[in-house]
Structure 1
Amino acid sequence: MNHSMRKAALYLSGALCIVSAAPAFAQSADGEAGGSDIIVTARRQEERLQDVPISITVFSQQQISDRNIVTATDLGTYTPSLSVNQRFGPEKSSFALRGFVQENGTSASVGVYFADVVAPRVQAGTTSGNTAPTGSFMDLQNVQVLKGPQGTLFGRNTTGGAVLLVPHKPTDKLEGSIEGSAGNYDMWRLQGVLNIPLADTFKVRLAVDRNKRDGYMKNHSGIGPDSYNDLNYFAGRLSIVADLTPELENYTIATYSHSFSRGYGARLVACDRRFTPGFLVTNPAQISQAIMGSAACAQLDRQSARGDGPLDIEVDNANPYLDIHHWQVINTTTWQATDNIRIKNIVSYQEYRERASFSLNGDNFSVTNPAPRIAPGLPLPPQTAGAKFQYVLINPAPNNDLAAESTFTEELQIQGETPDGRFNWQIGGYLEMARPMGFNAAYSAGLLNCSVPEQLSTCTNPLGLGSMQNSATKFWYDNKGLYGQGTFKLTEQLSLTGGIRYTMDKVRALGQSTRIRLPNTRTCNDTVRFGNLVVQNAEQCAVLFRQESNKPTWLIDLDYKPSDDILLYAKWARGYREGGINITNIGFEVWKPEQVDLYEVGAKTSFRGAVPGYFNVAAFYNDFRNQQIVANGISNVAGFNGSAPIINAGKSRIQGIEADASATLLGALRLDLGYTFLDTKVKSITVPPIPAGAPYSALIPSASVGDPLPLSPKHRVSLTGTYTLPVPESVGQVSLGATYVYTAKQAFTKATLPQYWDLPATNIVNLNVNWDNVMGQPVDVAFFVTNLTNNISQVAVGTSYNSAGFESLLYAPPRMWGFRLKYRFSE
């Protein structure tokens, strides 16, 4: 047994010791079991949380409000094991769970589902889609975070887990609410819910959410907006339940959201001081670094002279924006065919469109005075001191979107059980088709000075190095799956669950990417593949790639329930994540699927009586193979800024322990605890050779052998205490709550300076005061503070140092506070 397996066995043994001790603790109390009656849908049917052999974190709508969870990024702050990659801002973030990360361009490692339908499938030059759109966290029944590979029951195979957003269904009661919020950074929010039973068999529910907040990153360039990282969206949802017969229910949801903000702002934090003003450039490979490094140092010096802090930036984009539209229709038809067989059909269609203009790394550059000197014989004119230029400025192409994709899904489920209740089963089929709605088309201005980047006539080439890349791509995704899963009660206490799925994935991509070298030469991405061809039409650069995979995945689980309040389980699950394509990564356009085997043991216990609550624990070991990671491609072509190709780099192991507990003391103080210990390690890594003609001098992976995996903090603790004051019922219900979250340092990337390889540890404290049913009226008042101690924490690294001679960081929100006023009405 190797060292890793011995450590994993030690973790499992420790968990089993806790498990074996738990029954006595659980059976020592009686009465109501605190959180044991929470209903979840982790196995595509309604079950008690404590009866499901899966490690799950659940948030109610009240907990979502108390923690001020508004976007998917906020959810990652409070969920042990769940991290968020915010490299391109919170609205374009992606989830990482138990060390499984979604790198740019890859399929999601954590599937996000709203009403059992996966999030919109989108791929653009930067992270887009594949997460919960803004406004998704209003009027929910709960949010469930499922940990571990989802390889049988859910629509899309994932290696990390799944996040389920369960909306409130229409009810048979006339009721609703109006809620208003206001806070610092000129935040205001209006929410409304109206539920109308038009008939006993026809019910309608409408929810709306309008949220606006100024940005917290202050811009000092004097160009463009005063701040970045603002929030500005509208979302609406209409739900209809029609009981066509006593056995046939039709449930339709229509959603729409529109987010329009200034996007993210990155802060420069380092530059290459070798390249001082007047530096003599003798090496052609150092031309770009010398000019950008010296300009970045000048910007850093300006920041220091002003006394700027972490939330002060200097970005010269005249009109930055992030404009995202998303709409969706979901129809779920459920037929209780017999007493023991239920048939459910879920069909959906959604569209996602994104337009944006952003400075990739947050710069405000000018050629320094004196300008870098160019040695005779180098293919570059002398530099003009004071000439402005931009590192990379990205805009959509005229009449195009940065990302535009439609997604259609169809899923048929048949669920049943034997008359004696000993065998519970379900079988089904899944189809997902994502289709382009035109080209995902962007203009990336590199080392130019452009007032309107999508209009080449507005650009000048002050360095003689500039180029404009026109990236135009289309993606077609087809995902099909057949699955079956069943649970057989071997005895009244012992059950065996087995599930299998066969998945067929196919990706096709068309690219027409060209690079315009001013003044008048257009080439196909500067590659030897196309020689020195001067291109007149983008169609001459068209390339087509295809990636297919067919894989079985499965689950075997053994459960033991010595009582209703104790569940012990052990399981083995195989998961995989499909391969993909990114045409802009020259020479590394295609990558293969990754695969994981999960071994997990766990226990769930509920206790009753004077101190009701629950205690759940799980220990896990993942054997992770052929993993998809990002590498930093260092350019060997002057004026080409490199890229971030995806490579299948080797093997890793992921192991750890998760605990989740809740208890109510003296009927007034509720304590909720979540803890994750996560130990990840890259066991082997193989960097593929650089193909002939690819414009890279080196590939630098985001991790090395022996390193932890990115976004995998070793420890994370979330502790919430809620105390209900003993006031008369006529006064209302007054509660005081506090949440503390500790996240240990976590790796981000090695493709930068060593001091920025890790994101530092964070300590976040939230407070909330709730006064419900004020003076016996249907009015609720609340005060909330997030990040009470104003912990200014880093959330992402720009990773531009090796290729450009400077580095930038992105930061999480500072202290936010506000008030909420809610009026409820019902018949």
Structure 2
Amino acid sequence: LGDIVVTARRREESLQKVPVAVTAITSDMLTQRSIRSAADLANSTPGLQMQPGLEGRQAARFYIRGQGVGFGNAPPSVVTYFSEVPLDPNGGATFALNDVALVQVLRGPQGTLFGRNANGGAVVIAPKAPGQTTEGFAELSYGNYNYIDIKGGVTLPISSTLSARFSGTLTRRDGYTRNLSGKDFDNLHSSSWRVFLRWQPSDSFTDDLIYAGQRTKSNGLGTIIVAARPGTPAITAYPLPGLPLVVGTGLGNDLISQRAYGPRLINEPATYFGESSKIDLFTNTATLKLGGATIKNITGVELITACPSLPVTSTQTNFFVSTCFDNYLNVNAGLKVHPTTEQKQITNETNISGETADGRFDWIAGAFFLWSDPKGRLGTFRSTRAAKSLFVANVSSALQKDRSQAVYVQGTYEIAPGLKLTAGGRYTWDQRTLQFGQLASSANGAPGTFVCASPGLAANTPAATCVNIFRKSFSDYGYTFNLDWQAADRLLLYVSTRRGYKSGGFNSTSTSAAPLYNPELLEDVELGAKWRWGSGSVNGTLNLAYFHGWYDQIQQQLSVVVNNQATVITTNAGGANIDGVEVEANGNFGNLNVAVNYAYFSGRYNDCPANPAASKCFLDSGIDVTKSKFVSAPKNSLGVTARYTIPIGDTEAIVPQINYYTRSTTAFAADNVLNYESFAPGYQVVNARLEWQDVMGRKGLSLSGFINNLFDRDYVQSGIGLGGLIGTTSFIYGEPRTYGATLNWQF
């Protein structure tokens, strides 16, 4: 329970003295709590959720306070930052957790300092920086399902002014969803590396240059069919090309078989599903101190290629195809399918900060720029997806181009001893461009039957020019006002109000000649308290936050049928209100440490008016679905971690640890009034770890064993809810019991 230093307000402050709802997880805590992936962060952070979905596990994204991102190109409500650079949302949330100094989870709208689109919050990852001492670590883990994980990092001083840190990880694991007709699903195959150079020629200037890379691939995730509604297309089979259509078989029989198989066995013969990604990230941060001011320039260049695809149901019946890997659909259309995302993102932020000589006023002002372009020239059809649903096959082209500029300023003034006022504002200008084109076949994708199906274009339009280009500019402001009072030496009280803005855009699965959705706005009020208690070997912290938010034009996902095709779009759901309470407690009781996090969430859309035609609320075919629950926002979630240290020598110790996590029922489809099956049941999961520190008195050497999902519960993480659309609902299950051992050497 040392004093953790955070940068939640873009300057160094004590966690217990910063008036912001933020969770800080240090490098040691990542190891102690067995946090190996971004999904594991949810067990230690109140209100944080991870949801895999239509784009697969590699594109899993964070949800905080009921806000995240769904299918398509909608901007994320929770932005991931690495070394102060915002990452592209396609896989950004699961990137770069190796060799980390600190992870900060900021909850609530970041209206000023992390302001672009971050209405839900921000996850800020700080990598370990090189110093002037040679040191490092090596780690090897092995477990069931042939799990192997190799990590390492080392700092090498090159000169008195230049040092470097090299780190990397390699992970492999067999799939835990066994496939009777092909490769097992839910396997792991990833590699990542990082080079961090720090040049400090003087006390007043530092330059940090980082290159980080990652490569991942897998066979895809298992989507376990749990419901197929009678009277829907789900009960009619899709045959393979050239075979007659058979009615009354297909998914109905597959559902019966799947219930007999259980959640860890599938029968998926198709070979064109899977996931692959390539990420290369370059960042440079230059910091110059001039008297009482500090000037910082942060540049990021990210190259990302991602190809996530999956069956809506992992079944024998080839019912719903959505893939960016070559298959019979794009072959029959005479086209090659490219990765769904091939994007280059460049960002630059310049800020200046400082404080007055008496320390009563500190301030920061800056400007931000983002430039994101796809591979492929706009105006030319470049296939990015092949799909088939409701007996209409299609090959589509969706390319996204973004520009964003913003300026911001924020200051904190001590108006009386212990009483501070913070005020800040940000203005953002966004320009978004979408190219969408589609070739469709109503003959089950047979060769020679694909015609142009882009809105407003004739069916005989040549494939090369069968595209529409949509452009729109958006702009708005955000603000932060905060009053905090150091009521006692160990007690901080605060109240905040903020306004967040999230850009509008276009749907990458076009539904009309102008598939526009509008910006989303959020205003909130937050009350918080941070208390440090106790002394000696009995001490701890208790942090509380209550929030209420008012959304306008909230962006949500909607399942619709367009031109006989099932698809998911982003739409504006009108207004919504949210309330919640978050609790973080951490206590030492001699050799026992207990950490608890709890979140309560309540969200509701505004009721529809009497005239639905004039409504801006969340509608589907004129049906009021404003009683829908927020996606990935359980009403209650709780995580508890207990560690007990048993000394057996001067430095040796045995440390048993238990982690318990539970959450209540959680929606995974936004329009869950129509898709009433699309709820993941609540679950409980227990993880255990036993560590031997400084093995046989060898300082820095530790051996540990771990068991995750100790009781081998079959729990549902997420799912694909299309019951009201095509008749199917599938569950995505969490990992079964996994176990293994880890050898770690710190030197």
Does the pair score TM above 0.5?
yes
Matching residue within 544, 549, 556 for 1:629:
556
Q: 1:674 aligned to 2:597?
A: yes
Tell me which amino acid in the other structure corresponds to 1:756.
E
Q: How far apart in 2 are the matches of 1:584 and 1:234?
A: 32
Is 1:69–1:137's contact at 8 Å kept on the other side of the alignment? no
- From the superposition, tell whether residues 275 and 615 of structure 1 become closer, same or farther in structure 2 (CA, over 3 Å): closer
The structural deviation recorded for 1:42 is 0.7
CA distance in 2, matches of 1:622, 1:279: 44
Counterpart check, 1:738 vs 2:652: no
SS in 2 for 1:645: strand
In structure 2, the residue matched to 1:403 is 341
User: Deviation per CA, 1:395-454, whole angstroms, max 9, x where unpaired?
Assistant: 34637322100110110110100011110000000001111122763342426xxxxxxx
What SS is found at the alignment partner of 1:101?
coil
* 1:45 partnered with 2:11: yes
Aligned length: 713
Would the alpha carbon gap of residues 132 and 519 (structure 1) be closer, same or farther in structure 2, given more than 3 Å must change? closer
Instruction: Tell me what 1:350 maps to.
Output: 302
- Alpha-carbon deviations, 1:32-68, whole Å to 9, x = none? xx34x11111111111101111111122223223333
- The 3 A distance-change label for structure 1 pair 331 and 309 is same
CA distance, structure 1, for counterparts of residue 310 and residue 393 of structure 2: 15
2:283 aligns with one of 327, 330, 335: 330
Contact 2:312 2:730 (C-alpha < 8 Å) held by counterparts? no
Name the amino acid aligned to 1:303.
Answer: Q
Letter of the 1:741 counterpart? Y
Give the alignment's Cα RMSD to 1 decimal.
2.5
Distance of 2:407 and 2:234 partners within structure 1: 63
Equivalent runs, 1:696-735 vs 2, <5 Å: 699=621, 704-729=625-650, 732-735=652-655
Q: SS at the partner of 1:294?
A: coil
Match of 1:3 in 2: none
Relative to 1, partners in 2 of residues 1:137 and 1:299: Cα closer, same or farther, differing over 3 Å? same
Contact 1:561/1:568 (<8 A) preserved? yes
Q: Which residue of 2 aligns with 1:92?
A: 59
Match of 2:242 in 1: none
Q: Following superposition, which runs of at least 4 residues in structure 1 exceed 3 angstroms of deviation?
A: 272-280, 290-294, 465-468, 516-519, 684-690, 697-701, 750-755
Residue 473 of structure 1: aligned partner:
398
1:295 has 2:255 as partner: no
Query: 1:279: Cα distance to partner?
Result: 9.2
Note if 1:364 corresponds to 2:287.
no
Instruction: Please list, as runs of the form range in 1=range in 2, the aligned pairs for 1:101-250 lying within 5 A after superposition.
Output: 101-105=68-72, 106-120=74-88, 128-133=90-95, 136-154=96-114, 156-220=116-180, 222=181, 224-225=182-183, 227-250=184-207
Q: Which residue of the partner structure matches residue 738 of structure 2?
A: 816
Distance 1:215 1:688, change over 3 A: farther
> Is the Cα–Cα contact under 8 Å of residues 521 and 534 in structure 1 kept in the other structure?
no
C-alpha separation between the residues in 2 aligned to 1:413 and 1:292? 64
For residues 198-597 of structure 1, the aligned pairs below 5 Å read 198-220=158-180, 222=181, 224-225=182-183, 227-273=184-230, 294-304=249-259, 307-338=260-291, 340-365=292-317, 389-396=318-325, 398=336, 400-438=338-376, 441-446=383-388, 467-517=392-442, 518-525=446-453, 529-530=456-457, 533-539=459-465, 541-587=466-512, 589-597=515-523
414-423 vs 587-596, greater mean Cα deviation: 587-596
Partner of 1:20 in structure 2?
Answer: none
Deviations 1:723-758 (A, max 9, x none): 00032225x122111111111112223458766232
Q: For 2:203 and 2:175, locate their aligned partners in 1 and report how far apart those are by CA, in whole Å.
A: 51
Does structure 2 retain, via aligned residues, the 8 Å contact 1:780–1:822?
yes
Question: Structure 1-normalised TM-score?
Answer: 0.82
Q: Is the 8 A contact 1:187 1:214 kept in 2?
A: yes
Indicate the residue corresponding to 2:328 in structure 1.
none
Q: Give 5+ residue unaligned stretches, structure 2.
A: 238-244, 326-334
1:130: Cα distance to partner? 4.4
TM score, norm. by length of structure 2:
0.91
- Contact 2:115-2:426 within 8 A present in 1 as well: no
* In 2: Cα distance, 1:674 partner to 1:336 partner: 39
Match of 2:332 in 1: none
Q: In structure 1, what is the Cα distance between the partners aligned to 2:265 and 2:87?
A: 34
Cα separation, 1, equivalents of 2:641 and 2:123: 21
Percent sequence identity is 27
Question: How far apart, in 2, do the equivalents of 1:677 and 1:355 lie?
Answer: 35
Answer whether contact 1:87 1:795 (CA < 8 A) is retained.
Answer: no
Q: 1:300 is paired with a residue of what secondary structure?
A: helix
SS at match of 1:717: strand
Match of 1:784 among 680, 694, 706: 706
Q: Which amino acid aligns with 2:123?
A: V
Structure 1: gaps spanning 5 or more residues: 1-33, 122-127, 281-289, 366-388, 448-464, 691-696
Counterpart Cα distance in 2 of 1:351 and 1:754:
37
1:70-89 deviation line (CA, Å, top 9, x unaligned): 33223234422111221133
1:795 to 710, 717, 728: 717
Once residues 810 and 315 of structure 1 are traced to their aligned partners in structure 2, the CA distance between those partners, rounded to angstroms, is: 15
Contact 1:361 / 1:392 at 8 angstroms: preserved in 2? Answer: no
Offset of 1:488 from its aligned partner? 0.3
- 1:762-808 Cα offsets, whole Å, 9 max, x none, are 11111111112112213111111111122211122322333333332
2 CA distance for matches of 1:179 and 1:276? Answer: 51
Q: How far apart are 1:699 and its partner, in Å?
A: 4.3
Q: Deviations over 1:677-697 (max 9, x none)?
A: 11111123589979xxxxxx9
Distance 1:55 1:394, change over 3 A: same
Deviation, structure 1 residue 361: 2.8
- Aligned equivalents of 2:438, 2:85: Cα separation in 1: 33
Structure 1's 179 and 516: CA in aligned 2 closer, same or farther, altered over 3 A?
A: same
Secondary structure at the aligned position of 1:62 is classed as: helix
Contact 1:481 1:501 in 2 (8 A): yes
**Match of residue 329 from structure 2:** none
Query: In 1, distance between residues paired with 2:714 and 2:403?
Result: 42
394-403 or 719-728, which deviates more: 394-403
Cα pair 1:61 1:140 within 8 Å, conserved: yes
**CA distance 1:718–1:804, change in 2 (3 Å):** same
Q: Which residue of 2 aligns with 1:658?
A: 582
Kindly name which structure, 1 or 2, has the bigger radius of gyration based on alpha carbons: 1
Shifted more, 259-268 versus 75-84: the winner is 75-84
1:579-618 pair list within 5 angstroms: 579-587=504-512, 589-610=515-536, 611-618=538-545
Find out whether 1:75 has 2:35 as its counterpart: no
Paired residue for 2:680?
759
Among 748, 756, 763, the residue aligned to 2:668: 748
SS of structure 2 residue aligned to 1:512: strand
Decide whether the 8 Å contact of 2:528 with 2:546 is kept in 1. yes
Structure-1 separation of matches of 2:234 and 2:550 = 51
Q: 1:741 to 1:443 in 2, by over 3 A?
A: closer
Contact 2:22 2:106 in 1 (8 A): yes
Equivalent pair of 2:277/2:306 in contact (CA under 8 Å): yes
